[in-house]
Amino acid sequence: MSIKLPIYLDNQATTPTDPRVVQAMLPYLTDVFGNAGSRNHSFGWAASEAVTIAREELGALIGASAKEIIWTSGATESNNLAIKGAAHYYARKGKHIITVQTEHKAVLDSCHALEREGFEFTYLPVQADGLLDLDVLKAAIRDDTILVSVMMANNEIGVIQPIAEIGAICQQHGIIFHCDAVQACGKIPVDVKALKVDLLSMSAHKMYGPKGIGALYVRRGRPRVRLQPIIDGGGQERGMRSGTLPVHQIVGMGKAAVYAKEDLDTGKILEVKRLRDKLWAGLQENLDELYLNGSWEHRLPNNLNVSFAFVEGEGMMMAIKDIAVSSGSACTSASLEPSYVLRALGVEAELAHTSIRFGLGRFTTEEEIDYAIDLVTEKVRWLRDMSPLYEMVKDGIDIKSIQWAAH
């Protein structure tokens, strides 16, 4: 079987829209173009019905009812709405919010914005494996804590937090619990009732749906969770998110949820995990000085994040340009700082610079993984032959003993 290059192994950044999803969306750009808010003619009814079905489809993926799904423009908006919306609505109850240092920027920057308004935040550290220590969470809870926000699975290292335990702690203290489940949905089973989550962010394009559409689960059970909207207008989505519904996008997210659930129910996701395990085993067999970033046990089945010591990440990505991956190296970020997630795990800057994230997906093939193992092996060896650090280590020199001049 021939391989089409370049190979896409960056499925934590985004996923291709599944062709079945595209087919389902198309009629809603042409024939069924009505405004789902038009209640008095058939064009509106047809659009509204499609939206309702999509709500049920997405709800089924996470164990929620259709009425608990709020459509948004994507997970960034979902996270903004959950955190700012809950903070503003419950501000009279307290002003303290707890989150974690390894959260996505959409969460952290929403928090920073609220800090400027006078809310107080605790940014919890994580352990060396990326996991939150529950005792640290419990100790951070105050009488005026109104919200806890912890992601289900990390976008860089794929580490899965103990969400059910966190949910139980929050429920016990009467604190609203928001969970960014963008990376987890469709990769691991998610059941909002069992996990005791009040607010849960989702994105379509991370699960083979279109970009530009996301959702927020807002629990309706007692006590119902309330949010102050951040977008005002026609009062759609139970008043929490105004704006004409993008019906074709919503249909796409609904169908994406159907196929994501299928991956979980049929065990297709285990095949992705098998390929991920093969990739890691193959690299370890061929190369020395590899360091896994984040817990192996508590990790998404499609993620591998490895530091290839003595080989800088961006240089590595140029060398393996036939496979599309991502790096925690400073050189790949606008800020020129290495990954804050890896730094939160205590990964030293020199190793953070050498990290590569492999994100496998539904369409990854065995041949592609075999090719990736060979290519990465060859190029890491080539770059290490060019690396003064690898040479020094092989000569028995302790790199840490050298007085490096920071620049």
What amino acid positions are annotated as catalytic residues? Answer: 331
Token output for 289 = 């000085």
Task: Give the three-class secondary structure for 406.
Answer: coil
What would the two tokens of residue 84 be? Answer: 């700012």
Give me the phi and psi of 229, to 5 degrees please: -65, 155
Q: Does 353 bind another protein (CB under 8 A)?
A: yes
Q: Indicate the helix (H) or strand (E) that contains 94.
A: none
Q: Starting at the edge strand that comes first in sequence, how are the strands of the sheet with 303-308 ordered?
A: 290-292, 303-308, 355-359, 326-327
Q: Distance (Å, rounded) from C-alpha 279 to C-alpha 172?
A: 42
Q: Per rule CB under 8 A, is residue 385 in the interface with another protein?
A: yes
Decide: is 407 part of the binding site for another protein (CB under 8 A). Answer: yes
129-150 per-residue burial string, b: 16 or more CB within 10 A, e: under 16: bbbbeeeebeeebeeebbbbbb
Instruction: Please identify, using beta-carbon distances, which residue of 41 and 394 lies nearer to another protein.
Output: 394
Binding mask 307-336 vs another protein (x if CB under 8 A, - otherwise)? ---xxxxxx--x----------xxx----x
Alpha-carbon gap, residue 305 to 293, rounded angstroms: 5
Contact between 388 and another protein (CB under 8 A)?
yes
Q: Is the Cβ–Cβ distance between 173 and 145 less than 8 Å?
A: yes
231, 30 in Cβ contact below 8 A?
Answer: no
Total binding residues toward another protein, as defined by CB under 8 A: 28
Please identify, using beta-carbon distances, which residue of 90 and 308 lies nearer to another protein. 308
Task: Give the interface segment with another protein, choosing from 236-244, 339-347, 358-366, 387-395 (CB under 8 A).
Answer: 387-395
Question: Helix or strand or coil: residue 282?
Answer: helix
- 398 scored as a contact of another protein (CB under 8 A): no
By CB under 8 A, tell whether 265 contacts another protein. Answer: no
Report the residue from 348, 366, 374, 378 that binds another protein according to the rule CB under 8 A. Answer: 348
Q: Which is nearer to another protein, 230 or 392 (CB)?
A: 392
Comparison of 113 and 330: residue with beta carbon closer to another protein: 330
Site string for another protein, 81-120 (x = CB under 8 A): ----------------------------------------
Angle at the Cα of 135 from the Cα atoms of 133 and 140, rounded to 5 degrees: 100
297 binds another protein (CB under 8 A): no
Indicate which single residue of 2, 19, 39, 405 sits in contact with another protein (rule: CB under 8 A).
Answer: 405
Verify binding: residue 350, another protein, rule CB under 8 A. Answer: yes
In terms of phi and psi (left: phi > 0; alpha: psi -120 to 50; beta: otherwise), the region of 123 is beta
CB of 6 to another protein, least distance (A): 16
Residue 399 within binding range of another protein, rule CB under 8 A: yes
Nearest of 194, 198, 200 to residue 257 by alpha carbon: 200
* Cα torsion angle, 193, 197, 201, 205, sign: negative
Tell whether residue 389 is a contact of another protein (CB under 8 A). yes
Nearer to another protein, 211 or 343 (CB): 343
Q: Is 28 in the site for another protein (CB under 8 A)?
A: no
CB of 308 to another protein, least distance (A): 11
Nearer to another protein, 364 or 387 (CB): 387
Q: Bridge partners of 324?
A: 8
Question: By the 8 A CB rule, do 319 and 383 touch?
Answer: yes
Question: Which parts of this chain interact with another protein (CB under 8 A)?
Answer: 310-315, 318, 329-331, 336, 338, 348-350, 353, 385-391, 399, 404-407
